[in-house]
Amino acid sequence: MVTKRHQETVVTRGAIENDTISGVAAKYWAPFTKETHEKFDAKLIDIIYENEMLKTQFNSRKIMMLEFSQYLEEYLWPNYQAQSASKAYNLSIVVMVNEKFRERSLDAWACFSKKADEFSGFFRRVLELSLQEEGLKTDLYMTKMT
């Protein structure tokens, strides 16, 4: 018997093909379209964070779609620069790492080895964000729900 919760988190081939995330991934970061990728756009990360994470209350299916598309490995981390990364950028990375652990991925931290020099800056930014009073409480509360 399939539970309602299980149905909400199952990602089918049709769901992948019809989801807006798949189209955006193909355009910007999917490994199978590498030759035709659009130029990196940090604003896209803010848009994805707002529309696919916050507005959906960190919907498991949306987060799984982002994970399946290799959002962290192919877009977020390769382009990360601590000094210019927005709050949405940093929290997007946190959400994606959380998803890897939720899926019990053995290599949840593997992508960080590609730009290991940026990891300390990322970690510092996340700590700074966690200490800020305004604007973060809602985001962190929502992140805990995933």
What does the pLDDT read at residue 105? 77
Distance CA(127)–CA(116), nearest Å, equals 18
**Nearest residue to 126 (alpha-carbon basis) of 84, 99, 100, 94:** 94
Q: Residue for token digits 């409480």? A: 137
pLDDT digits (tens, 9 = 90+) for 16-28: 556 789 999 999 9
**pLDDT confidence of residue 6:** 45
pLDDT in tens, 95-106: 999 999 998 877
Q: Quick one: pLDDT at residue 35?
A: 93
Distance of CA 122 to the CA centre of its chain: 14
Spatial CA neighbour of 65 closest among 104, 24, 27: 24
pTM of this structure = 0.81
Residues 6 or more apart from 137 whose CB is under 8 A from it? none
Calpha distance 113→5 (Å, rounded):
34
CA proximity to 95, closest of 56, 40, 38: 56
pLDDT-flagged residues of the chain (< 50): 1-2, 5-7, 146
Q: Counting every residue, how long is the chain?
A: 146
